[in-house]
Each structure stands twice: as C-alpha cells, then as structure tokens.
Amino acid sequence: MEVLLLGTGSADGWPNPFCRCASCSTAAHVRGQTAALIDDVLVLDCGPEAPRAALRFGRSLAGVRHILFTHGHPDHVGPAALLMRHWTGATEPLDVVGPPSALQQCEHWVGPDDPVRFTTVRAGDRIRLGDYDIRVLAANHGADIGGDAVLYDLESDDGRIFWATDTGPLPDATYAGAAGAGYDAVFLEETFGTYTAHGTEHHDLPGFADTVARLRTVGAVSDTTDVVAIHLSHHNPPEPELAAVLSDSGARPGRDGEVVRVGAGGARPIRTLVLGGARSGKSAHAEALLAAEPAVTYLATGGIREGDSEWAQRVRLHRARRPDSWRTVETTDVASELRSAAHPLLLDCLGTWLTARMDQHRVWDGGALDGVHADIDELVAAWQDCPAHAAAVSNEVGSGVVPATASGRLFRDLLGVLNARMAAASDEVVLMVAGRPLRLPVTAP
C-alpha cells in the first residue's frame, strides 16, 4: 500500500501565512491542510487544497474511485473537487464516504447523472470499497458540527493503516476497536505541540505521547509500526526539536509530498536525493529527514584533507550536529555500503565521491572516462538496491557561470549526469534554495 501525504498541516497549515512567530518564520517546509492519496485510487480527507497538492506532487486524481471524509470542518471537505471531476465527463463510479456533517456539504456539487454514490457512516460501521476493508472508529472531535467525526482503520492485502485526524485523546471504544491491529502505519494528529492550554479536541505533544503509548498497550502499534504525526501547526517547536520529542514515542513528523509504503507494497524503502548550491542547507535538510531514526549510517565521502584547516572545521561542524547514535563511515566505496545497509543511511556527498573516482581513474591526467562511467553505473544500481531508507546529498553546479578550466567543465558535466541518473532512481528529489526546500516532480517508474 502506498500513502502519499498530500498535506500534513493543520487548518491554517504550518507556517500560518499571516503569522510571524518563531515557529512560522523558521519553518523549513510548507505544510498544507492534511490529506492523503492511497494507491492513486482513494483519497482521505479531500479538503480544498488536496486536488492541487496532488498535481504538485506529480499525481493525477483521474484514477480515484473512493473519497473518505472524517468530518465536516472546511479544511477536510472541499466539495468543489466533485465539480472538477464532473467537468471532465467522468463516467467511472465514485464512492464518497463520511459522516453526515461532511456528506451534506457535497450533495449539491454533483449533477443528477453523475456516477457518485454517497455512503453515510458512523463509528462502529464496517464497509468494503474496492480492495479495501474499512472499519470506522470514533473520534474525539467535532462537537460544533454534531460530534459525528470519525477515524478510519483501512486494510488491504498490502497492509493496514490507521488514519486518525482530527481527534483529541481517543475514546475507549476506539482503543477497543483497534486492539491487536498491529498497524503498519498510524497517521495521528498532533496539532498543538507545546501549547497545552488549548482546550480543544486535538492532541498536543504530551497527549500525543499518551495516545501512542496506549495504542502500544492494546497492540495497535508495534515496534515496526511507522507512527507519523500529521495535522501539525505552528504551536509546535522547529522541526529538529519536534522530531527529537516525537522520537521518544517512536514517532516522527510527516511531510507534504512524502510517500509512505507499508505492508507488501512497502518492501522498498524510500530514497531521497537532496540537491543544492553552496550553503543552501542541503546537508542539514538531509540530516533532518533521518533525525527521528534511532540509528543512521553516515557515509562521508570527503575524507580528511591534511593541512586544510578550513576543511577540518567544516567536518567538525557536521559531526557536532549529528546524534551520538549515528555511525560515521568515511569511504568512497559507497556502492557496497548501500547494498549492505542495515540501518537508514545518509550519503554526503555525491560531488566529493565523484571527485575521488575521477582521481582514482586519473581523469585529470588525461585518463579515459570509461572507469568513471562504470562507477556511476554501479552507484546508481546500488542506490536502487539499497535495503534501507536512504538520503543522498549532491551539489547543484549547473546553474552558475561556465567554469574557466577544462577540468572544471568536465566535473560539472559529469556531476550533472550523475545527479540526473540518481534523481531518476529516487522516490523523492528536493532542491534546496536559500535554506528552503523545493520538491521536484518525480516520474513514477
């Protein structure tokens, strides 16, 4: 099962576009309203931002056959999506499922001949939609809309997930319904972070930790469950601090555009390529991607440069910000490390790796390039075969002035080739500009 997170933010997103608080002004990622696309056929919480988010992440909604709403709040229900679909002349049936507070908003957005089937659900119901067996669980949310908000336990032959947004601390009936589920992934809302005096039907960080702990107690969450915090707002601390707090519960923050694969469909880990110019924040971003992992192998390809104090200082700064649980391996034999990875892995960076391979094959002295291209082939193949989650950092050097030397131009061209091939073999590609990440479309293999 593949879960594409179309949004991981609260109703106002994170950062809030009207706010200048520290959390908003330092946010490295823009999070839209929480929604998800499952296997390109099912949408969870199709709010007003969800259709455009799908396009930004390179996905079409033409194959969607099921839409599930959790409740009627406006960041979760965007009925205009039904009108967009109607304008295409779609003839395939579409199931629209949810509590009354959501469906009542949608019924007037379909034509009399639209192949749309509305199904009202309440906590305790169980329905079958296509390949999915869906259990409807109670939420602690939405008293202002009649208190009919629900959560979804969604299972197919490829895995089982719990979609739990929005809700405060879960009702006892929900723990009973989820007991023994052993979910592959749990997507649990965590809106208010360190602000605990909100008085709303949402989680803050202490409440989130308590909920996850109880889900573990009843067997809904196991050591292998991917617990992802969603519906995040600016009441949370900056992401590195948030990731550290969530990791105490075995959880991590979700990100817009992230693809989570679970069950039989989740056997292949996620590979992320992070590109950027000098001081663009590419290494820090890649490190943040793995910050919640209990153990990470850091592949440092730059090595030690004798007599270069400036380089030594750079290395010291990089090492100082890595968690103590990370293992550093200084090597240019990256392919073997990728193939044998027992833990999530960070490769930093492809530029210094390429320089070392060009040195090895004496390219600067007129040596043939065949050996370098063979090394690139091996690296890309190992990247594809890596059995663990992996992030790779590389320099984006093709946007500046043309290098003045032949060797500089050769390096630029070869690194461009390497970056393009690694991007084609990656699940996610991020371009860092002035410390801000831009997610690039990835063509599905």
**Phi-psi map region of 87: left, alpha, beta (phi>0 left; psi -120 to 50 alpha):** alpha
**How far is Cα 203 from Cα 190, in angstroms, rounded to an integer?**
5
Half-sphere exposure of 343 (CA within 13 A, CB side): 16
**How far is Cα 148 from Cα 379, in angstroms, rounded to an integer?**
52
Helix (H) or strand (E) holding 5: strand 2-7
Torsion angle of C-alpha atoms 236, 240, 246, 247, degrees rounded to 10: 180
End-to-end CA distance of the chain: 16
In whole angstroms, how large is the CA radius of gyration of the chain?
23
Alpha carbon separation from 309 to 23, 219, 355 (Å, rounded): 35, 53, 20
**How far is Cα 110 from Cα 95, in angstroms, rounded to an integer?**
12
Residue that is written with structure tokens 């492809």 in the block: 350
Active site residues: 318
